[in-house]
Amino acid sequence: MSAKKEPGVLDGFKAFLMRGNVVDLAVAVVIGAAFTNIVNAVVKGIINPIVGAIGTQNLDHYSSCLSSSCEGNDGIRLMWGSVLGATLQFVITAAVVYFLMVLPMAKYLARAAARKKEKDGTPEVVETPEVTEVDVLKEIRDALVSQRGPGPNERYPSHGGR
């Protein structure tokens, strides 16, 4: 009998780091952080001044008082202006991302796929059937059962196709 050496912790960590999806995720986070600066600059330098020309740039001072008096720190104050400002900031940022990055990239990829289709004669998009949560759960169950092997309650365990 030869003793089988189990992989060490460092070997497992190295394998984890070298997986493609981990590296892709790291690249996406770095690119996303850099792109955040661009989006924030567009929103702060162009969009907010346009919105400020129509109304106000700072909604934080808008609030309502739930108690009889909201002088100083007394009373219960709802700061709905802050929520509205954060919501508008999100919508504006999402619009900038969509119209300046997502939409042009989608058009570019569609044109590239159309050119490839004309050149190769290959189909542009291969449709895949929609996968539901139930289908995924069934696959997980089947994978676990195949790893575990036949249980005592199974009538017909698979033994060489019998």
Q: Are strands 64-65 and 77-78 parallel, antiparallel or unpaired?
A: antiparallel
**Mean pLDDT, to the nearest integer, of 115-123?**
78
Angle of the 80-97 helix axis to the 20-42 helix axis, nearest 10: 110
**Which are the contacts of 39, defined by CB distance < 8 A and separation ≥ 6?**
93, 96, 97, 100
pTM over 0.75: no
Residue pLDDT, tens place only, 31-60: 888 888 887 787 778 877 777 777 776 777
**Mean pLDDT, to the nearest integer, of 126-137?**
73
Residue 161: per-residue pLDDT: 45
- The token pair at 23 is 């590296």
- Residue 64 pairs in a beta bridge with 78
Predicted confidence band at 85 (pLDDT cuts at 50, 70, 90)? confident
- The token pair at 152 is 């005592």
